């Protein structure tokens, strides 16, 4: 069973229409200035965020304003706060695993969203959506070359996107999805990035009956990978991590076997040619990539979704040639795919292992996340002010 720790019962809002008082309240709330935890330099990744006001992008007819109740902490947040992947535009408010309620809907999207709807936003806030864009036209918006991230991205008007360590978020409605009633907000939040990041490669590369699937990395992404692969009906699910300290958890999540690469003797030889598909969620360049490839069967696939701040290690060509293997990558997923994933999770009763942390304690949560203490995802929860409706 999934573990949920330290969250007050009143924070687990699950229904779109659970509280009529909330709907009435939200009709009158759509501020022009938001408040959030802002990072001003790379040291912000060490717990030096500051709660401050900021101005979101100008509101347009295609936009949605969301009153945030929950926001998961993603490794991408920390990479961005410290300018790990590339220089970050400071000040910045990170967070792209956002759940909340609609408080304002532009005229172009008001037919899809009503005030009070419970919705979510993932790692993408915009793409070109043009008919002549192969990616957008084919429902692969996450690969659009004109994509804008939910934070640290620049819109066409020159304004910068801001994320969910905040009280409100403003994003184009195309990238907002409704949350199924059966999913608690606490569970849905980490699905908006961590969940879809592993759901997409599993779905697109045939994880299911008859397939043997390996998941590298038992963290926030990896634990979703184990649960999703098992729920998809994979013949065998193998969790792969450096050490054996997470084996009991992995098996409780559905793993049939476990490989500890730093502790198991000759693990590459013992498990050679045993997997059809491997999804790697780790973000460290220090990985035994050649060993992972040895685990693949003929025509097997290795898909990388974790994004290190350095290059991946080199591999011998015959690791691919000898078995006809393929190595590739996968991004997040389109709004349609996110909606499908949420419905699947609701239907299968998939519940991530999460710990609720107060939005007020974001700095400590970021530090704990970086130190690897999360088991297996932290979700920041906005505690309602005295003058607002309880969730």
Q: What is the DSSP string of 7-29?
A: --GGG----TTS-HHHHHHHTT-
Cβ contact 215:281 at 8 Å: yes
Is there a domain that residue 334 lies in?
A: no
Q: Identify the residue whose tokens are 């220090």.
A: 286
Interaxial angle between packed helices 196-204 and 220-231, expressed in degrees from 0 to 180 and rounded to the nearest 10: 40
Residues 212 and 156 grouped into a single domain = no
* pLDDT recorded at residue 388: 41
Which residues face 66 on adjacent strands? Answer: 102, 169
**Number of residues written out for the chain:** 391
Residues 48 and 168 grouped into a single domain = yes
Is there a domain that residue 114 lies in?
A: yes
Is there a domain that residue 178 lies in?
A: yes
Is there a domain that residue 75 lies in?
A: yes
Opening angle at CA 285, ends 223 and 207, nearest 5: 35
Residues 46 and 140 grouped into a single domain = yes
Is there a domain that residue 141 lies in?
A: yes
pTM (predicted TM-score): 0.91
Cβ burial of 282 (10 Å; 0-12, 13-18, 19+) is: buried
Residues 125 and 89 grouped into a single domain = yes
Residues 152 and 260 grouped into a single domain = no
Is there a domain that residue 337 lies in?
A: no
- Predicted confidence pLDDT, tens digits, the chain (391 residues): 444 443 333 333 333 434 444 554 555 567 889 999 999 999 999 999 999 999 999 999 999 999 999 999 999 999 999 999 999 999 999 999 999 999 999 999 999 999 999 999 999 999 999 999 999 999 999 999 999 999 999 999 999 999 999 999 999 999 999 999 999 999 999 999 999 999 999 999 999 999 999 999 999 999 999 999 999 999 999 999 999 999 999 999 999 999 999 999 999 999 999 999 999 999 888 899 999 999 999 999 999 999 988 888 888 899 999 999 999 999 999 999 999 999 999 999 999 999 999 999 999 999 999 999 999 999 999 987 323 433 3
* pLDDT recorded at residue 194: 98
Q: Checking DSSP bridges between strand 98-105 and strand 326-329, what pairing results, if any?
A: unpaired
Residues 174 and 198 grouped into a single domain = no
* pLDDT recorded at residue 32: 84
Q: Which residue range forms the structural domain that includes residue 206?
A: 194-329
Residues 172 and 200 grouped into a single domain = no
- Find the CATH number of the domain harbouring 251: 3.40.50.720
Residues 102 and 204 grouped into a single domain = no
* pLDDT recorded at residue 383: 83
Residues 98 and 164 grouped into a single domain = yes
Compute φ and ψ for 340, nearest 5 degrees: -60, -45
Residues 297 and 357 grouped into a single domain = no
- Find the CATH number of the domain harbouring 367: 3.90.180.10
Is there a domain that residue 340 lies in?
A: no
Provide the domain count of the chain: 2
The rounded distance, in Å, linking the Cα atoms of 110 and 108 is 6
* pLDDT recorded at residue 11: 38
Residues 71 and 143 grouped into a single domain = yes
Is there a domain that residue 342 lies in?
A: no
Residues 213 and 177 grouped into a single domain = no
């Amino acid at each position: 069973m999934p573990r949920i720790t330290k969250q007050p019962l009143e924070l687990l809002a699950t229904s779109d229409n659970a509280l009529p008082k909330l709907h009435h309240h939200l009709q009158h709330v759509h501020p022009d200035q938001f408040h959030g935890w802002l990072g001003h330099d790379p040291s912000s990744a060490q717990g030096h965020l500051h709660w401050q006001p900021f101005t979101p992008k100008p509101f347009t007819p295609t936009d949605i304003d969301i009153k945030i109740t929950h926001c998961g902490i993603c490794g991408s947040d920390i990479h961005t706060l410290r300018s790990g992947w590339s220089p970050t535009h400071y000040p910045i408010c990170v967070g792209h695993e956002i759940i909340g309620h609609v408080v304002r809907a532009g005229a172009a999207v008001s037919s899809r969203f009503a005030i009070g709807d419970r919705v979510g936003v993932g790692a993408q806030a915009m793409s070109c959506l043009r008919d002549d864009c192969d990616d957008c036209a084919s429902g692969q918006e996450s690969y659009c070359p004109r994509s804008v991230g939910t934070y640290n991205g620049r819109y066409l008007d020159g304004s910068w996107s801001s994320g969910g360590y905040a009280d409100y978020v403003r994003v184009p409605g195309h990238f907002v999805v409704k949350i199924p009633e059966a999913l608690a907000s606490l569970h849905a939040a980490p699905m908006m990035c961590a969940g879809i990041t592993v759901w997409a490669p599993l779905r697109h590369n045939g994880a299911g009956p008859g397939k043997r699937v390996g998941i590298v990395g038992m963290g926030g992404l990896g634990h979703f990978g184990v649960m999703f692969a098992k729920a998809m009906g994979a013949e065998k699910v193998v969790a792969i991590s450096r050490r054996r300290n997470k084996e009991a958890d992995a098996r409780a999540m559905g793993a049939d076997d476990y490989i500890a690469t730093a502790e198991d003797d000759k693990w590459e030889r013992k498990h050679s040619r045993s997997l059809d598909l491997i999804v790697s969620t780790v973000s460290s360049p220090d990985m035994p990539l050649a060993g992972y490839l040895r685990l693949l069967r003929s025509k097997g696939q290795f898909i990388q979704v974790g994004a290190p701040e350095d290059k991946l290690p080199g591999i011998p060509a015959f690791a691919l040639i000898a078995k006809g293997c393929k190595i590739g990558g996968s991004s997040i997923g389109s709004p349609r795919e996110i909606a499908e994933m949420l419905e699947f999770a609701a239907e299968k009763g998939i519940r991530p292992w999460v710990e609720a942390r107060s939005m007020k304690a974001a700095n400590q949560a970021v530090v704990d996340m970086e130190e690897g203490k999360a088991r297996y995802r932290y979700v920041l929860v906005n505690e309602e002010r005295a003058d607002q409706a309880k969730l």
